[in-house]
Amino acid sequence: MNNLLVTLKYFLLITAELTALFLGISALVALLLMYIPREKMQRWMGGKGLRGNFVGALVGSVTPFCACSTIPLTLGFLDAGITIGTILSFVIASTLLNPIILTMLLALMGWKAALAYFVVVFGGAVLFGALLEKAGAAAWVKKMRILSGGGYGNEAVPEKLSAKVRLAFQKAWADFRSVLVYLLIGVGIGAAIYGYLPQDFVIRFAGPGNPLAIPVAALIGIPLYIRAETAIPIGVALLKKGMDIGAVIALIIGGAGMAIPEMSMLAGIFKKRLVAAIVVAIFLVAVLGGYLFSLVFSVAP
């Protein structure tokens, strides 16, 4: 009975906190994007070299996208003639870095963890985007007819600020409804882990000092369809149970950064070689990030 009460309390508190964060940050980002026309954004991302990779990762980090919205925007960037390195930096960063994820990490793990996560993932997105472009990734894009548009950024933006704010919250609510099931599932699993999973079991397989916990956690996360809204509360619950923070971060990066459904969608526009390279890049970022967190954070923040 005590475990049940602890589980329910955890579930209600985390659900309320993440709901407020999601709606607030999503509305803010939607409002900001109303002042940045899509054409101007594409011009900003048209640079070559590391500047383009940096901008691609930056745009990915400020847009609250999941795989289903990253893919059509990727098609739009290809249609606009943006360099493949910039696009790949965006693809890697977009599902791993956005204001919602960073705010969740800030609230649940502390500012040091949020900052370290941002540096690791942002740096990985820039680095692997540049490396893949140097490796000839432009030749690994399928020859296909790319349709412009796609339903993002084309809506009429109202002139009055009050109307913009109302529309921003409408978009935030629509986004929240689309992820609510994933969020509740994630918090529910996290609450169950927090309330019922024996601590000795977690420490035995993924506790501090186990060198294989981090790559194993990354491997487990990559095939699964784990949204960041789902992975983070699960990871926090595992962290409180004694799981090494490095393994938790590797699970979050691997699970949120790539999944079988996203691999399938990417395979529609990229050749298998490039899809595999993106998966490897996500895995390496997860593992390197995990080991860095283990070195920097000896205890949970």
185 vs 124 pLDDT, higher one: 124
pTM here is: 0.70
| Chain segment 248-299, per-residue pLDDT in tens | 888 888 877 776 656 776 887 888 899 899 999 999 999 999 998 888 875 4
More confident call, 89 vs 257: 89
**pLDDT value, residue 300:** 43
Task: Please state, rounded to an integer, the average pLDDT across all residues of the chain.
Answer: 78
pLDDT at 88: 94
Residue 84's pLDDT is: 92
Once rounded to an integer, what is the mean pLDDT over residues 227-245? 75
Q: Is 103 helix (H, G, I), strand (E, B) or coil?
A: helix
Nearest CA-CA partner of 182 in 92, 100, 90: 100
Region class of 47: left (phi > 0), else alpha (psi between -120 and 50), else beta: beta
Question: With pLDDT > 90 as the criterion, what percentage of the chain qualifies?
Answer: 17
Segment 179-230, tens digit of pLDDT:
677 678 877 877 787 677 665 665 666 666 677 889 988 887 776 656 666 6
Would you list the DSSP string of 240-260?
HTT--HHHHHHHHHHHHH--H
Q: Which of 7-16, 25-34, 134-143, 150-159 has the highest mean pLDDT?
A: 134-143
Q: What percent of the chain has pLDDT over 70?
A: 75
Sorted by where each begins, the domain ranges of the chain are 2-296
R_g of the chain, CA atoms, integer Å = 19
Higher pLDDT pick, 14 / 66? 14
Which residue is associated with the tokens 């993932």?
121
